[in-house]
Amino acid sequence: MTTAKPKPPRRGPPGETVLTGIAVSPGIAIGPIYDTSEAAAEVPRRVVAVDAVEAEREKLAAAAATARKQVTKLKTRLTILPEEAQEELAPLLDAYILMLGNSRLLRGARKRIGDALLGAETAVLDEAEEIAALILAAKDDDRAGLMRRAAEVREIGRRLIRTLTATPFRSLKDVPAGAILVADEITPADAALLDPARIAGVATEEGGADGHTAIMLRALGIPAVLGCHGLAAAAARGDSAVLDGARGRVILHPSDTALAAARDGLAGYARERTKLSKLRRLPAETTDGEVVELQANLEIPAELPLIAQAGAQGIGLLRSEFLFMNRASLPDENAQFDAYRSIVEAMAGDSVTIRVLDWGGEKDMEALSAGVPMGSGPNPALGLRGIRLLLKRPELLEEQFAAILRVSTRGPVRVMLPMITTPSEVKQAREIYERVARRLRRRGEALPDRLPPLGAMIETPGAALAADAIALEADFFAIGTNDLAMYTLAVDRAEADVAYLYDPLHPAVLRLVQFATEAALRLRMQVSVCGEMAGNPKLVPLLLGLGIRSFSMNASAIPRVKQAIRALDIDDCARFARRVMEQSDPVRIRELVDGFGPTS
């Protein structure tokens, strides 16, 4: 994780270009670039009914607006490119923006939709091809100029078609083995479909340090650099590259020296993995005997083997969203039951905390879009997401509760509620929970006498500040520092442009973590941290010092966190946390954290 502002690309040795972005997933990748920002090749021809014409035209207008926004954003970022590149690209992007406005291409495509009853993408393709052919047929000696103009029209057509036909897995399934995947943006649903055995690394223009895409890439162990400005303009398919996910760097056309350094780095990672694997069976215990619980976060079932390898003591956060992603219809109670059962059984008696669906913000799910007024408000992150959506659509919550309750006879589970802001949300959810349990019992299901604990995520400033009241309704707390930092600092966790402001070490965030932790500890209630902070070994002394004894993180972070814990003394940590909490300057706090030693 880094909070640095993006740096302009710099020239290394001749031919080499070094780009800097946000370091989101450690590891080194060496391989050819596979740029998925390129257009899809084929557009199936689509004809529509007369009464669908208006809807197709609206789709076209929306796609043009989206594409215009993308190009405008790309243009604002040109300033970080070398001057010659800026001079070349700026007029081109201006032309694109014009063509995405009230241009002949859009007017023509709109007309074709109505005249020939064509789907929007088919109309765009036909119109772009016709305009390109007319340009190329013009009598002009400047052949190169004509070809360039025709290519521009086709490129705009392709951009529109890509937006119109977007499906999450469309462009990612053909990535060749060993390639570094480059894209404008990768959604969490795209990331869920990436195969870590095939993809060497991921680099994107967009994205922040603790967005769900970043979390997913870390969980899959794919080296990644997000928010890498200038990448789309500088990288082309087939370019050789080195990606360093710990330093947040992508080197295009690396020199022999850069390649040799990358190979050394890869060997270093392999040695470290061997060393850390020896910690697997050792307890997470401080030098003075305080035992700490280290659990894993799970985004997709493919991570289960990594969780076993890491020696996690259960799953502290099962993000159930994976069940709802990349599908057109909702999973029913039985499908959910099967999925939870295989995870609970794989954990063989270790506890699994299942978080009910946390949909919203960047986690867009097709299956839920129908009939739900989601993402349409002026500010989706502040709208109907998490528990708010579930209480509005109680049938979703009931099905999920039923599946989880049935699984609770197969192993220890806990149930967790996302995006809580008021005690009454926990109360209402509990009423539904108990009603579902009564119904299942009537149906003859043998549920445990005591229902699994029902806990609240503390991930909004409102919940943290009302933690004492929420603690009276909840059975446990899990502090979600990712959203807590986002909402406290008003900084989108997945937005590259403001990533430098996203800082969980901001005193405002730390004070909320402290307040919520103390509210739980006063009632002797279990409290854990399951945001990305928990997986950062540097932050362990501070969190231990604040009273946290349970951490849940991506599985690959567990060995390093365990190593850190085994070198710490709780009294030192408590003294250190007191010192940190006296500070009001985030820069000073980071200095203290970076410089922490037993005598700090």
Contact residues for ligand PEP, defined by CB under 6 A: 215, 317, 319, 358, 459, 480-483, 530-531
Write the CA distances from 24 to 477, 541, 592, integer angstroms.
26, 22, 22
* Interface with Mg ion, residue 459, by CB under 5 A: yes
Structure-token pair, residue 516: 């919520």
* 228 catalytic residue (yes or no): no
Structure-token pair, residue 490: 């008003």
* Interface with Mg ion, residue 208, by CB under 5 A: no
* 573 catalytic residue (yes or no): no
Q: What does 492 bind: ligand PEP, Mg ion, none (CB cut-off 5 to 8 Å by kind)?
A: none
Q: Edge-to-edge strand order for the sheet containing 224-226?
A: 10-11, 17-20, 249-252, 240-244, 28-35, 180-183, 201-204, 224-226, 22-25
Q: What does 481 bind: ligand PEP, Mg ion, none (CB cut-off 5 to 8 Å by kind)?
A: ligand PEP
Closest CB 495 distance from ligand PEP, rounded Å: 15
Residue 410's nearest CA partner among 362, 342, 360 is: 342
The residue range among 10-18, 124-132, 174-182, 457-465 that interacts with Mg ion, by the rule CB under 5 A, is 457-465
* Interface with Mg ion, residue 299, by CB under 5 A: no
- State the residue number with the nearest CB to Mg ion: 483
Q: What does 319 bind: Mg ion, ligand PEP, none (CB cut-off 5 to 8 Å by kind)?
A: ligand PEP
- State the residue number with the nearest CB to ligand PEP: 480
The residue range among 196-204, 230-238, 287-295, 480-488 that interacts with Mg ion, by the rule CB under 5 A, is 480-488
* DSSP assigned state of 15: T
| 34 vs 487 by CB, closer to ligand PEP | 487
Which residues touch 251 (CB under 8 Å, ≥6 apart)? 12, 16, 17, 18, 19, 241, 242, 243, 244, 258, 262
Structure-token pair, residue 495: 């937005």
The residue range among 36-44, 52-60, 223-231, 481-489 that interacts with Mg ion, by the rule CB under 5 A, is 481-489
Closest CB 483 distance from Mg ion, rounded Å: 4
| 128 vs 415 by CB, closer to Mg ion | 415
The residue range among 286-294, 360-368, 374-382, 459-467 that interacts with Mg ion, by the rule CB under 5 A, is 459-467
Q: What does 531 bind: ligand PEP, Mg ion, none (CB cut-off 5 to 8 Å by kind)?
A: ligand PEP
| 465 vs 574 by CB, closer to ligand PEP | 465
Roughly what angle, to the nearest 10 degrees, separates helices 570-581 and 586-594? 160
Closest CB 3 distance from ligand PEP, rounded Å: 17
Distance between CA atoms of residues 380 and 69, nearest Å: 18
Sign of the alpha-carbon dihedral angle for 488, 489, 493, 494: positive
Distance between CA atoms of residues 64 and 42, nearest Å: 20
Closest CB 352 distance from ligand PEP, rounded Å: 15
Interface residue with Mg ion, options 26, 227, 316, 480 (CB under 5 A): 480
Distance between CA atoms of residues 209 and 230, nearest Å: 18
Largest CA distance in the chain: 86
Structure-token pair, residue 366: 């097709």
Give 412: exposed, middle or buried? Use CB within 10 Å, 0-12, 13-18, 19+: middle
Residue 105 CB: number of other CB atoms within 10 A?
21
The residue range among 6-14, 65-73, 434-442, 454-462 that interacts with Mg ion, by the rule CB under 5 A, is 454-462
Give 276: exposed, middle or buried? Use CB within 10 Å, 0-12, 13-18, 19+: middle
Closest CB 339 distance from ligand PEP, rounded Å: 17
Distance between CA atoms of residues 356 and 593, nearest Å: 34
Distance between CA atoms of residues 420 and 458, nearest Å: 7
Contacts with Mg ion: how many residues (CB under 5 A)? 3
From 228, 229, 506, 530, the catalytic residue: 530
* Interface with Mg ion, residue 455, by CB under 5 A: no
| 205 vs 358 by CB, closer to ligand PEP | 358
Instruction: Tell me if residue 225 falls in helix, strand or coil.
Output: strand
Write the CA distances from 574 to 352, 516, 524, 542, 551, integer angstroms.
29, 17, 18, 8, 17
Interface residue with Mg ion, options 127, 483, 492, 532 (CB under 5 A): 483
Closest CB 423 distance from Mg ion, rounded Å: 19
Closest CB 556 distance from Mg ion, rounded Å: 20
From 212, 228, 229, 506, the catalytic residue: 212
Closest CB 319 distance from ligand PEP, rounded Å: 5
| 74 vs 458 by CB, closer to Mg ion | 458
* Cα within 13 Å of Cα(63), Cβ side: 23
Q: Which residues are catalytic?
A: 212, 530
Q: Which residues bind Mg ion (CB under 5 A)?
A: 459, 480, 483
